[in-house]
Structure 1
Amino acid sequence: MQEKDRGSLRGEGWEEIWIEIISVKATIPLVMGANIGTSITNTIVSLAQAGDRNEFRRAFAAATILDMFNWLTVLILLPLEAASGYLYRLTGAIMDGISGNTKFDRIELLQVITRPFTDLIIELDSECLKKIANGDDVESLVKRWCEKTLPVNGSHGFFTPDPSQLLDAHNMSMGECSINTELGVNASSTEKQIIGNLTKDWKKCHHVFANSSLNDTLIGVILLVISLVVLCFCLISIVKILHTVMKGNTAKIIKKMVNAKLPSPFGFLTGYLAILVGTALTFLVQSSSIFTSTLTPLVGVGVISLKRMYPLTLGANIGTTFTAVMAAMTSSGESLKLALRIAFCHLFFNVSGILIWYPIPYLRKVPIGLSKSLGNTTAKYRWFAIVYLITMFLLLPGLVFVVSLGGWPAWVGVFGPIGLVLIFVIIMNILQKKLPSYLPEKLRTWDFLPLWMHSLEPYDRPMTAIGRWFGKLKRCSFSKEKNNTLTPQTNFAMKSSMESIP
C-alpha cells in the first residue's frame, strides 16, 4: 500500500485520531456503511412511543426514513463506485488543488459543554488507540495519569508525551500506553523503584475509573449498561414532556409554524430551506443522531409532518459531514489532504444521494413511501420493529460481509437471484396498484401464494408469545386492551391518516 493512498478514520464523538492504516478506496464503502449504521439511533428512539399504535406508526416511519434514504443511496452509489471510482476520482481532483501546508484549530461547539462531564466519567488514551490500530499490544485504553512531571537536574518539567518516552530515558522499555499503579509486576526491584520515583509526583485523572483495577471489558460493559439506562430514561421523559406540552392551542400553533410553506411563488423552495436548517442545527450539535433523534418523537406526537421531517433529515446528513471536515482540518501536511479526502467522500456521498432522491418529486416519494409502509406494518405488528432492527443492522450487514469474502462469483450467485426477485416484486406491486386491469385476475393480488409468503399474520401469534415470555413491552406492545386492538375500521383510519400527511 502506497503512503499517499492511505486514509484516516474518524467517528462522531471521538478524539481526532488519524489512523493511517487503510486505503482511501477501501474507506469509501466503510463511509457508506457508517452512514447506514448511524441511523439505528432513530429506530431505537421510536420504540419509546410503542405504547400508542398511532404515535408509534408515525415515529417509526420518521425513524426509518433515514434508513430508506441511506440504503437506496448505497444501492446506487456503491456499484457506481466499484465500476467507475466516482467518489475516489472526484475527491482526488479536489485534493489536487489543496495545499497540505495549512493547519486550522479545531472548532468545538457542543463539546465545550459536554466534555467536562464526560471527562468525569471516563478518559481514553489517544496514543493507545493509535497503537491498537497499528496492531500493537495494549494493556488498557483507560487514561489514568493526566499530569506527569519528569525530574531534570533536581527540577520538574511539565510534559504530556507517551510515557514510554520517559521510561526510555531511564533505559527502560514498557509496552503499555500509560503507567498505572498496577504496572511493574514483572519488573525487577530496581525497575519498580525507578517507576515509583517517576510516578510519585504525577497526578491521577479525576474520572470515576482512574483508580479502578477493573479491566477494559468490565468498564465497557458498565458504561454500556449505564448509557442504555440513561437513554431509556431520557426517551421516556421526552415523550411524556411532549404529551404534556403539545396539547390544545399550543400544539396547533407549533404544528402550523413548523410545517408552514414559504409564500407563493417560492413555496417550492420550502424543502430546500428545511435542508439548510437541518444542516445548520446538526452543525451546531455536531451529531446527526442527536438532531434526528429529537425530531422522531416530535413526528410521533404529530407536531412535525413526515414530509417536513424528510428534508430536515437530509440536511442533518450534510451537517454531520462538516464535523469530519473540521476535524480533518486540524491536521497538517500530507495528513491534512488524506483526512480531508475521506471527509469529502462522506460529504459528496450524501450530496449525491440528495440530488438523486429529493429534487425530482416522483423519486422523493420512494423513501417516504417505504417508510410509511414500515410505519403501518409496525403499528399492526409491533414486534416487527425488533425484527427490523436485528435484520437491517445485524443480519443483513453480516450476510453481505460473509458473502463478500467469496469474491464477485459468490456475490453474484447469492445477491443476483435475490435482486431479480425484488425487482419482480416491485414491478408486480406497482402493476397491482396502478394498472391491475393489465394483469391476469389471479395475479392482481398475492393471494395465490401461501399466506406465510405475503403476510406477517402467521408469525404474529408466535412472536407475540415470545414477547410475553420475555416480559418485554407487555403492556404496550403485546397488550390486548380494547383501546389498542386493531379493527378493520381503525386500521383503515390509520392508513388514511398516514396517506394524508402533508
Structure 2
Amino acid sequence: TIVSLAQSMDVSQFRKAFAGATVHDIFNLLSVIILLPLEVASGMLEKLTNAIIVSIPSLSKGTKPPDILKVITKPLTNKIIKVDKKIITKVARGEVLPPGTSMVKSIQICNPRIIGSLKKSVFYPFPCSSKKIPRIRPYEKSETKSTLVSTITILPEDFIFANTGMSDGAIGAILLIVSLLVLCVCLVVMVKLLQSMMKGSVAKLIKKVINTNFPSPFGWLTGYLAILVGAGLTFVVQSSSVFTSTITPLVGMGVISLKRMYPLTLGSNIGTTTTSILAALAQDEIANSLQ
C-alpha cells in the first residue's frame, strides 16, 4: 500500500497500483477471517499439522537457512543496534527478568583488575576500546599480591545505541520512525527506477511474457505457473514484502495485469514459508518447531 502511494501523482497509475496492493490486503484479511474462527472452534490447523508431522517417518536436523539479505544488511545494522538474544530467549520461555533488564546489548568493561584485602577493596575498570591496561597503584601494607585477580576479557559492543541510558521503548520508537522514513524513501526511489526502466520495448516484452495465457485447452495452467514463479522468486529474496513491493508499481504501470497479480501474490505467500521451514529444521525440537 505504501508502494502504491508513491504513484499517487499519476491518477491512472495510482488506481492500478492501489488495486494491486488491495489484492494482497484482501487475501490476508480473508485468510484471517476464515481460518481463525475455524482454528478457535475446532483446532483444525493444529490437528492437520500434527498429522503431517506424524506421517513423516524421521526428521533429521538440517542447517540454518541461508542469510541472503542479512549478508548485505547486517554490517550496517550492527553499527546501529545489537540485541541480546539471550534476553529474548528468556522472555520467550516466560522467565521473570529483573527490573530494568534491557534487550539492547551494552558496552562491557574489559579485564577489570581487583585488589582486595580484609580491610578494603579497590576496583580498576577500563573500557574495552582501551588498548593499554592502566597501572595499578602501589600496594598498601595491608594488601598482598595474591589478592590481584584478572577476569576474562569481554569483546566490545560498539554501536550507536550502546549504553545510551534510554529505555527499550524509546530506542524502539526511534528505530521505527527512522526505518519507516528510510523505507518510504527507498520505495519511492524503487518506483522511479522501475518507471525509467520499464519503457518502450522492454515493457512490451515483459508484458507479453507475463500476461500471456497458455493456448487452449491449457489456459488454466497459466495461473498455477504464476504461483510457482511467485513462490520461487520469493524464496530467492526470502521476503514476500520485497517481492510484492516490486510488482505493485509494475501493476500501476500496466506491465503486469491485475489478474496476474493475484496468483503471483498467492505464490509469494507460499514461497515465504520456506524460510521458516528451513529455520525450523535447524532447531533441536524439530517436530514442534516444524509444526
Q: If the TM-score is normalised by the length of the shorter chain, which range does it land in?
A: 0.7 to 0.9
Per the alignment, residue 375 of structure 1 pairs with: none
Residue 313 of structure 1, aligned match among 265, 276, 282 = 265
Q: CA deviation at 1:329?
A: 0.8
Distance 1:121 1:280 in 2: 32
1:130 to 2:92 alignment: no
Show the 5 A alignment for 1:193-272. Answer: 198=151, 201-272=153-224
Q: CA deviation at 1:58?
A: 0.8
1:300 to 2:258 alignment: no
Per the alignment, residue 117 of structure 1 pairs with: 76
Deviations 1:177-202 (A, max 9, x none): xxx99xxxxxxxxxxxx9x9547x32
Contact 1:120 1:207 survives alignment (8 Å):
yes
Unmatched tracts of structure 1, length 5 or more: 1-42, 152-179, 182-193, 342-502
Per the alignment, residue 23 of structure 2 pairs with: 65
Per the alignment, residue 142 of structure 1 pairs with: 104
Per the alignment, residue 45 of structure 1 pairs with: 3
Distance 2:2 2:9 in 1: 14
Distance 1:219 1:103 in 2: 37
Q: CA deviation at 1:115?
A: 2.4
Residue 79 of structure 1, aligned match among 16, 37, 45 = 37
Show the 5 A alignment for 1:349-368. Answer: none
Show the 5 A alignment for 1:332-351. Answer: 332=284, 335-341=285-291
The one-letter code sitting in structure 1 at the alignment partner of 2:6 is A
Distance 2:31 2:65 in 1: 30
Percent of counterpart pairs with the same letter? Answer: 52
Q: CA deviation at 1:99?
A: 6.3
Q: CA deviation at 1:149?
A: 8.7
C-alpha change, 1:331 and 1:147, in structure 2 (3 Å) is farther
Show the 5 A alignment for 1:330-479. Answer: 330-332=282-284, 335-341=285-291
Contact 1:145 1:202 survives alignment (8 Å):
no
- TM-score where L is the length of structure 2: 0.77
C-alpha change, 1:101 and 1:313, in structure 2 (3 Å) is closer
C-alpha change, 1:56 and 1:204, in structure 2 (3 Å) is same
Q: CA deviation at 1:106?
A: 0.3
Contact 2:20 2:251 survives alignment (8 Å):
yes
Q: Secondary structure at the match of 2:22?
A: helix
The one-letter code sitting in structure 2 at the alignment partner of 1:123 is K
Distance 2:184 2:69 in 1: 22
Q: CA deviation at 1:339?
A: 0.9
Q: CA deviation at 1:222?
A: 2.1
C-alpha change, 1:100 and 1:223, in structure 2 (3 Å) is farther
C-alpha change, 1:319 and 1:147, in structure 2 (3 Å) is farther
Q: CA deviation at 1:275?
A: 0.4
C-alpha change, 1:329 and 1:226, in structure 2 (3 Å) is same
How many residues matched?
Answer: 255
The one-letter code sitting in structure 1 at the alignment partner of 2:198 is M
Distance 2:112 2:214 in 1: 64
Contact 2:112 2:150 survives alignment (8 Å):
no
Distance 1:324 1:291 in 2: 17
C-alpha change, 1:146 and 1:70, in structure 2 (3 Å) is farther
Distance 1:78 1:139 in 2: 34
- TM-score where L is the length of structure 1: 0.47
Contact 2:107 2:163 survives alignment (8 Å):
no
Deviations 1:25-63 (A, max 9, x none): xxxxxxxxxxxxxxxxxx222221222221111111111
Please give the root-mean-square deviation of Cα atoms over the aligned residues, in Å: 2.9
Q: CA deviation at 1:321?
A: 1.1
